[in-house]
Amino acid sequence: MANATVSIYLDSSYTKKDGTSRFYIRLTLNRKSKKIPLNLFINPDYYNARTKKIKEIKEVPNAKGNNLYLKEKESDVQQIIIELERRKQPVTFTNVLNLYDNKEANGSFIEYARARLITERNILKPSTYKGLLWDIEKVERYFPNVTIYEIDVEWLENYRNILIEKLGNKLNTIYGNLSMIRKYVTLAYKKTIIKTNPFHNFPLEKEDGKKEHLTLEELDILHKYYNEKLFLDVTAHDDRGKTYLTGLKYQETLQHILISCYTGLRLADLQALRYKHIENGMIIMPMGKSRKNKEKTLRIPITTRLKAVLDLNEGMKPDDKVYQGFVRNSSEINPMLRHIMKEIGINKYLTFHSTRHTFAVSALTLGMSIETVSDIMGHNDLKTTQIYAKVVDDKRIGEMSKWNKMSKLDGRNDCFDQVVCPECNNPVLTFEKGVIKLKKLTLECQFCTTNFSYKVN
């Protein structure tokens, strides 16, 4: 190898507000050094400068995986130097960095996307990381060998058709899947790995979906099913025809659904909820999803309804759960939720996040102030909560429109037909236009007992 050394370097001379410092690859050529930044940060206390490894202790999540990542990056630069020597090209900082930036794209798109995702692991929320990984695996299922150079408008159209026709995905699911591809293709374009970005000619469509929610009446039905434990007798059959009970997990899931409906908790926050978060008749816990680098604490009063579905017993330890079983991830809980809705007879396409919509709309319908609802839900902006207020207002408008049927009040009879007796001219029947589908009615006057026929317009 040329007069070059490669090593991992943690620059502890600068720390972020959270106390972490960035890792670099330190490349030394002819006694001059250059740092290549890595997207990995850690508290310097958890780094062993002698072994150049992150300490693999319980306080450091994914330490082993990050150590492998650091070793891999160090090896990448070493291999680049060997490759330049093989090509008989000068080993300069410029040549090394050019090959380093382009190295990830020499393989498949799957490998490139995964490599970039790993570098982002420590700055992404766990749910975001899992979602992107799931989207990458979805592409791999149908195009395991696609390279980043092959992804053009035609390929994108083909993949979108698979999502629609083979998988039956909805518009917003497709938007999420293609957004992952756009993220890494755009990154490759900015790094000049590819010359054109196909997404400049391939706009993504997103549906401003209706925020589906349960009504107060439907919530009552759900609570009744939970109290009466009507799902405990649910059974399933395996491939050998054996029948076994699966009702317990549905009863547990129903409890989790109701807790979220009564609190507005997101799935991740519900999964983290423990007895230690119950203080003075309130749920007080850090919100898992915070924006603008601001910590936010949720403070949710425990109502009578909520208390009825929480497991709060004497002698509980701080880390004990306040519900039965465990809260499943969205890929498991959403199909179970829809099965529960089908069994109850509620014909709505719901996800677990719909429980959050249910809390917001129900709270506003019951008269809670929009500011209080916004605070309980952890919204950073009141405009987010106003979306739910519009749902309530639309419902009010729909209900108030029923007054339009009383057209006599403004001197109009546009909405109704009135049938009068041909003999005594007394009114026999009044009905809303379009309601009666028959072409002809046979009627009897209640005043003079005359029988007659009436032709419906």
Q: Work out the number of other CB atoms within 10 angstroms of the CB of residue 351.
A: 15
Angstrom distances, CA of residue 312 to CA of 78, 272, 276, 307, 315? 58, 16, 11, 8, 9
Q: What would the mean pLDDT of 374-397 be, rounded to a whole number?
A: 80
Mean pLDDT of 277-284: 93
8-state DSSP, 44: G
pLDDT at 209 over 60: no
For residues 357 and 296, which has the higher predicted lDDT (pLDDT)?
Answer: 357
List the single range of 25-39, 110-124, 336-350, 399-413 with lowest mean pLDDT: 399-413
Average pLDDT of the residues in 360-383? 88
Between 38-47, 185-194, 254-263, 444-453, the lowest mean confidence (pLDDT) is in 444-453
Sign of the alpha-carbon torsion through 97, 98, 101, 102: negative
Higher pLDDT, 409 or 378: 378
How far, in Å, CA of 417 to CA of 410, rounded? 16
pLDDT band for position 105 (cuts 50, 70, 90): very low
> What's the burial of 402, exposed, middle or buried (CB within 10 Å: 0-12/13-18/19+)?
exposed
Residue 406 pLDDT exceeds 80: no
As assigned by CATH, the class of the 216-401 domain is: mainly alpha
Evaluate if residue 207 carries a pLDDT over 90.
no
How many helices and strands in the chain, by DSSP H and E? 14, 14
Instruction: Note whether 309 and 259 are within 8 A (CB).
Output: yes
Place 302 in a pLDDT band, splitting at 50, 70 and 90: very high
pLDDT score, position 380: 79
Helix (H) or strand (E) holding 139: helix 126-142
Instruction: Please choose, from the candidates 118, 113, 103, the residue with its C-alpha nearest in 3D space to the C-alpha of residue 138.
Output: 113
Residue 114 in this model has a pLDDT that exceeds 60: yes
Residue 285 has pLDDT above 90, yes or no: yes
CA-to-CA distance for 67 and 72, rounded, in angstroms?
Answer: 9
Q: Give the span between the Cα atoms of 156 and 23, in whole angstroms.
A: 36
Residue 398 pLDDT exceeds 90: no
What value does the mean pLDDT of the chain take?
84
pLDDT at 449: 74
Find, among 70, 197, 180, the residue nearest to 122 by Cα. Answer: 70
Residue 314 has pLDDT above 80, yes or no: yes
For residues 86-115, give the mean pLDDT.
75
Q: How many CB atoms lie within 10 A of CB 277?
A: 17
pLDDT at 343 over 70: yes
Over residues 91-118, mean pLDDT: 74
Three-state DSSP at 335 gives: helix
Per-residue pLDDT tens digits for 66-99: 899 899 888 888 888 888 888 788 888 888 877 7
Q: From CA 217, how far away is CA 361, in angstroms rounded? A: 13
Q: Which of 225-234, 311-320, 391-400 has the lowest mean pLDDT?
A: 391-400
Does residue 445 or residue 21 have the better pLDDT? 21
- What is the rounded average pLDDT of the residues 309-328? 91
Residue 387 confidence (pLDDT)? 77
Tell me the backbone φ, ψ of residue 297, rounded to 5 degrees: -110, 130
CA dist., res. 22 & res. 15, Å (int): 8
Q: Which position has the higher pLDDT, 339 or 401?
A: 339
pLDDT band with cut points at 50, 70 and 90 for residue 101: low
> Is pLDDT at 389 greater than 90 in this prediction?
no
Token pair, residue 421, equals: 């007796």
Q: Give residues with Cβ within 8 angstroms of 259, minimum separation 6.
A: 265, 270, 273, 306, 309, 310, 323
Using only the alpha carbons of the chain, give its radius of gyration. Answer: 32
Q: What is the Cα–Cα distance from 113 to 202, expressed in whole angstroms?
A: 19
> What pLDDT, on a 0 to 100 scale, did the predictor assign at position 292?
46
- Highest mean pLDDT pick, 92-96, 153-157, 234-238, 239-243: 153-157
Topology, domain 125-208: DNA polymerase; domain 1 (1.10.150)
Residue 227 is predicted with a pLDDT of 93
Cβ pair 428, 419 in contact under 8 A: yes
Domain boundaries, the chain: 1-103, 125-208, 216-401, 407-455
- Where do the H-state alpha helices sit in 367-444? 370-377, 382-400
What is the token pair recorded at 106? 């020499």
Question: Is the predicted pLDDT of residue 11 greater than 80, yes or no?
Answer: yes
CA-to-CA distance for 52 and 189, rounded, in angstroms? 33
Write phi, then psi, for 53 (nearest 5 degrees): -135, 155
Closest CA to 359 of 300, 313, 295, 318: 300
pLDDT at residue 439 is higher than 60:
yes
Nearest to 109 by CA among 72, 138, 71: 138
Q: How far apart are CA 163 and CA 170, in angstroms?
A: 8
pLDDT at 282: 94
Strands (E), 320-450: 416-420, 427-432, 440-444
* Residues comprising the chain, all counted: 457
pLDDT at 106: 53
Residue 409 has what pLDDT? 47
Predicted confidence at residue 118, as pLDDT, reads: 79
Percent of the chain residues past pLDDT 70, beyond the cut: 91
Of 188-197, 218-227, 355-364, 370-379, which range is least confident? Answer: 188-197
